[in-house]
Amino acid sequence: MRKKIVAGNWKMNKNFSDGLALFSEVINMANDELHNSQQVIVCSPYLHLHSLVQLNKGNTKVALGAQNCHQAEIGAFTGEISADMLASAGVQYVIIGHSERRQYFAESNTLCAAKIDIALKNNLTPIYCIGETLQEREAGTHFDIIKTQLAQATYHLSAQDFVKLVIAYEPVWAIGTGVTASSAQAQEIHAFIRKEIAWQYSAALADEISILYGGSCNPKNAEELFAQADIDGGLIGGASLKSRDFIDIAKAFN
């Protein structure tokens, strides 16, 4: 059975005290209202992570994730953070290759491959983001783009390592725009991703991989999206900044 996951990406939002308050609401609501085995993940700014891990002690419904990590183990990389630092602070997940990192920080598939390697080496679960821009979809190249994003960043992995990944399909045109992919559009791509993984590795392995949808997911559209055969949850941006909306999205599995 694939893990059902709702992961929140706070991006560069919430100062320290507001972040602590939001996270406290999330854990209280998750404990009171989530009755299935869905995993809730909060990917906060680095600054908040250690304190959120402490607040979350003993709670398995919610886990912490970072939004990025550096590809090197250690060294002179001013302003960066390592996978080891994250893991040693109790962080379990790390987003790799978010479209904002690709767009504003020129992150390539090859760089993502190195980040995935260092994350796995440090026992962090990478949430690897892929997805096409509007131009790419309009040009009809979206399947090729997704295939390449998968191949260049992950196909060097052994099956044993690949199975540890979470994949997030996030059409760039749907991120923060209020435009959601229709459930049929999302399912089509999720099924394609799973088929590609099955072809590269095996059908059994592909069947174990959680593939999340991201892009203007909200409490109104989550149920229909999560009901699709190959959609195993969501990576949530804007709506993860409101505890009520975020938990209502996680409840879409109930």
* 152 touches 173 (CB < 8 A): no
Single-letter amino acid code for the residue at 111: L
User: Is the C-alpha dihedral spanning 154, 65, 231, 4 positive or negative?
Assistant: positive
In angstroms, give the least distance from the CB of 71 to ligand PEP. Answer: 21
CA distance 178 to 201: 35
Residue whose CB is less far from ligand PEP, 103 or 176: 176
Element (H, E) at 207: helix 203-208
Residue with tokens 């791509």, as numbered in its chain: 189
Which one, 82 or 218, has the nearer CB to ligand PEP?
Answer: 218
DSSP state of 96: E
Confirm whether 48 is a catalytic residue: no
Considering only 5, 9, 41, 190, the residue that binds ligand PEP (CB under 6 A) is: 9
Q: Which helix (H) or strand (E) holds 85?
A: helix 83-88
Residues 190-219 that bind ligand PEP (CB under 6 A): 214-217
Least Å distance, CB 126 to ligand PEP, is 14
Enumerate residues 111-170 that contact ligand PEP by CB under 6 A.
170
Q: Which stretch binds ligand PEP (CB under 6 A): 45-53, 61-69, 233-241, 242-250?
A: 233-241
Q: Report the nearest approach of ligand PEP to the CB of residue 17 (Å).
A: 23
Interatomic CA distance for residues 106 and 109, integer angstroms: 10
State the residue number with the nearest CB to ligand PEP. Answer: 237
Of 11, 10, 20, nearest in space to 48 by CA? 20
Please pick, among 100, 107, 136, 170, the residue that the annotation labels catalytic. 170
Tell me, yes or no, if 138 is annotated catalytic: no
65 versus 215: smaller Cβ distance to ligand PEP: 215
Give the H/E segment covering residue 42.
strand 39-43
Give the binding site for ligand PEP (CB under 6 A). 9, 170, 175-176, 214-217, 235-239
Q: Catalogue the active-site residues.
A: 98, 170
